[in-house]
Amino acid sequence: MTRDEKYQAAQQRIGYQLEEFRVGGNYTPLVRDGNRLYISGQIPRVGDTVMLPGKVGASLTLAQAQIAAGISALRCLGLLKQALGSLDQVQAIPRITVYVRSAEDFDQQSEVANGASDLLHEILGGAGVHTRTSVGVMQLPKSAAVEIDMIAVAHG
């Protein structure tokens, strides 16, 4: 199975189809500098709807937040696919940062980030292995539970 097919299968498994990527301001969602691609923070938005909004540990469970992280990671991969033509062109994902809108006593940000990390490994295999930082924050855009930014490296 190709990475693009795995991407489609992951969307079906999670239950969300991502088809378009809108920009909500004066910035670009992806910048390419040689073989390096920098992806702006992606929230779990499908169309115009933010999926699973809320505060993790209050209105959202860990499992729900992991799904939100997966959707955000799928958005990042969708932008890479759009820019590169195929996810088979991804050589590596050296870094991701996962921001988690957390209740005051919630301390499982790294477990939330596993929702993204597991998905990247599922779709990209060894190229999806990355370093990461997971951070609990008070608020995210549009009341999103999770936001992820990413650095990727493309082949040649």
Structural contact between residues 7 and 74, judged by C-beta atoms closer than 8 angstroms: yes
Structural contact between residues 67 and 115, judged by C-beta atoms closer than 8 angstroms: yes
User: pLDDT per residue over 117-143, tens digit each?
Assistant: 999 999 999 999 999 999 999 999 999
Q: Which two tokens stand for residue 121?
A: 């490994």
Q: Which 3 state secondary structure label does DSSP give 152?
A: strand
The dihedrals phi and psi of 37, each to the nearest 5 degrees, come to -125, 130
Residue ranges in the chain whose pLDDT is less than 50 = none
Distances (CA, A) of 64 to 60, 113, 114, 141, 146: 6, 12, 12, 18, 10
pLDDT at 149: 98
For tokens 């301390």, name the residue. Answer: 107
Strand partners, 37: 32, 152
Q: Name the H helices within 25-97.
A: 62-84
pLDDT at 63: 98
Cβ-proximal residues to 46 (8 Å cutoff; 6+ apart), any chain: 16, 17, 18, 71
pLDDT at 35: 98
